[in-house]
């Protein structure tokens, strides 16, 4: 005997009609009829007499009515108590992302966050988007954010968990020689100016790592503005721009050609970061456990 069966039984008793009870329960008449027949078979007694007037309860049904009502009431009351506890334990998590990262191609896509919210009804997820020039790490340390989806620079006051590791792509102008080449080599790329924004300049460690992959010290060319504005400089063939795969899929890249970086080991690592002294709520622990990647 299940609570659901008792609910169906009580609905038919109340309505005196299978069709009306099915409408009240938001299920089909066929489904309800089958459930009642299965319940009768399980109990070994008839509960209703079907006629043109509807479904009339038998003496067995009349005997079951009071205890069934009590059982369902106790179950509903228990669920209400648990719901009240969940509401009291609700937690708001402020998640910061750089503008543009919140899209269907991103490793932290809207669908993924929606499923996270649905799995934890007690969690209120506030998604806040910022410009590439904003310092999300500082916001975490100041307590303005609880979580942030950022790159992997070291900060002693933060703990970071690797969430995504995307292959690097190269953006070049459609008018460049690289766009017409059948096979672009690391040596070809090493001769190109690499565009980097002044506002959120590439960290020295990242520059050094890029040089390791290219096999020589890169030639960087700075431009005014944020990273997204570098696309316009690529269009006029001032240099090349490196970006993660999801970036290339989610932006308007008319007039550009994209191709994977020749060395597949060069990847963009993105992290979920928070303050080290923040006690991770259960929803965050569960999300990290499911999505954490090995570095």
Q: In a 10 Å sphere around its CB, with 0-12 CB exposed, 13-18 middle and 19+ buried, how is residue 205 labelled? A: exposed
What is the separation, in whole angstroms, between the first and last Cα of the chain? 50
In CATH, what number is assigned to the domain containing residue 113?
A: 3.40.190.10
Same domain, 139 and 277: yes
**CA-CA distance, 22 to 15, in Å (whole number)?**
9
**CA-CA distance, 167 to 45, in Å (whole number)?**
65
How many domains does the chain fold into? 3
In CATH, what number is assigned to the domain containing residue 74?
A: 1.10.10.10
Same domain, 35 and 56: yes
Tens place of pLDDT for every residue, the chain, 295 residues? 889 999 998 998 999 888 898 988 888 989 989 999 999 899 899 998 888 778 888 999 899 999 999 998 999 888 888 777 666 668 899 999 988 888 899 888 999 999 999 999 889 999 999 987 788 999 999 999 999 998 866 667 899 999 999 999 999 999 999 998 888 999 999 999 999 988 766 778 788 888 888 888 889 999 988 888 889 999 999 999 999 999 888 888 899 999 999 988 889 899 999 999 898 998 999 999 999 987 5
The length of the chain is 295
Of 85, 103, 119, at which residue does a domain stop?
85
Contact 164, 270 (CB under 8 A): yes
Predicted pLDDT of residue 295:
56
Same domain, 107 and 71: no
Of 29, 56, 85, at which residue does a domain stop?
85
CA distances to 107, 129, 146, 248, 289 from 103, rounded to whole Å, are 9, 11, 21, 12, 22
How many alpha carbons lie under 13 Å from residue 260 in its C-beta half-sphere? Answer: 8
| Tens of pLDDT, residues 135-166 | 899 999 999 999 999 886 666 789 999 999 99
Cβ atoms within 10 Å of 25's Cβ, excluding its own: 17
Q: CA geometry: angle at 272 spanning 271 and 273, to 5°? A: 105
| Tens of pLDDT, residues 42-61 | 989 999 888 877 888 899 98
Range(s) of the domain holding residue 122: 91-164+269-291
Same domain, 150 and 263: no
Same domain, 156 and 193: no
């Amino acid at each position: 005997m299940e609570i659901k069966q008792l609910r169906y039984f009580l609905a038919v008793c109340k309505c005196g009609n299978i069709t009306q009870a099915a409408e009240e329960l938001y299920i089909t008449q066929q489904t309800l009829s089958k459930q009642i027949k299965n319940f009768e078979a399980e109990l070994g007694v008839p509960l209703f007499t079907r006629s043109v007037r509807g479904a009339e309860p038998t003496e067995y049904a009349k005997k079951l009515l009071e205890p069934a009502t009590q059982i369902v009431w106790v179950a509903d009351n228990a669920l209400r108590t648990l719901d009240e506890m969940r509401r009291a334990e609700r937690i708001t998590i402020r998640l910061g992302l750089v503008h543009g990262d919140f899209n269907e191609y991103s490793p932290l896509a809207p669908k993924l966050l929606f499923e996270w919210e649905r799995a934890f009804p007690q969690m209120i997820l506030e998604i806040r988007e910022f410009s590439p020039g904003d310092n999300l790490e500082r916001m975490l340390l100041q307590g303005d954010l609880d979580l942030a989806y950022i790159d992997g620079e070291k900060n002693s006051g933060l703990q970071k968990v690797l969430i995504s590791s995307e292959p690097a792509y190269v953006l070049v102008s459609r008018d460049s020689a690289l766009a017409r080449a059948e096979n672009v080599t690391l040596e070809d790329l090493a001769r190109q100016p690499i565009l980097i924004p002044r506002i959120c300049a590439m960290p020295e460690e990242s520059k050094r790592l890029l040089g390791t992959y290219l096999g020589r010290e890169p030639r960087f060319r700075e431009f005014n503005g944020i990273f997204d504005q570098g696309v316009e400089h690529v269009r006029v063939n001032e240099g090349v721009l490196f970006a993660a795969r999801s970036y290339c899929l989610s932006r308007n890249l008319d007039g550009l050609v994209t191709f994977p970086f020749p060395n597949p080991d060069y990847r963009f690592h993105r992290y979920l970061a928070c303050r080290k002294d923040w006690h991770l709520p259960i929803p965050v622990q569960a999300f990290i456990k499911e999505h954490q990647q090995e570095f």
